[in-house]
Amino acid sequence: MIRNSPPLMQALQQVIPVQAMAEPWQIAQTVLFLLGAHSSYITATDIAVDGGVTGGGIFWPVGRSVGVLGGAGPDPRVSTTS
């Protein structure tokens, strides 16, 4: 289990745009939706419940690393040259 590996837990939270691991109930709620009548036209597909990981792709960590998305690096929107 991931909770048994603190380094993996920490690394994952760095790459998840919502910056938190899912709680079990957050997955369960989606499954309840898929089991019930509200999802009767959904089939043969994947539902990402991933805090934005697949939607954000590589550009969440990239944006963090260059500072645009609030990372440690300089914010390129702010000119530091004179």
Chain contacts with other proteins (rule: CB under 8 A) = 1-3, 9, 12, 16, 21-32, 34-51, 53-54
Shortest spacing between CB 62 and other proteins, in angstroms: 15
Could you tell me the smallest distance in angstroms from the CB atom of residue 81 to other proteins?
37
Q: Which among 52, 50, 30, 27 has a CA at the least distance from the CA of 42? A: 30
> Quick one: 42 or 62, whose CB is closer to other proteins?
42
**Nearer to other proteins by C-beta: 14 or 65?**
14
CA atoms within 13 Å, Cβ hemisphere of 7: 0
CA 45-55-10 angle, to 5 degrees, is: 110
**Which residues, other chains included, contact 47 with Cβ-Cβ below 8 Å and sequence gap of 6+?**
30, 34
In angstroms, what is the minimal distance from the CB of 42 to other proteins?
5
Tell me whether residue 27 or residue 74 sits nearer to other proteins (CB atom). Answer: 27
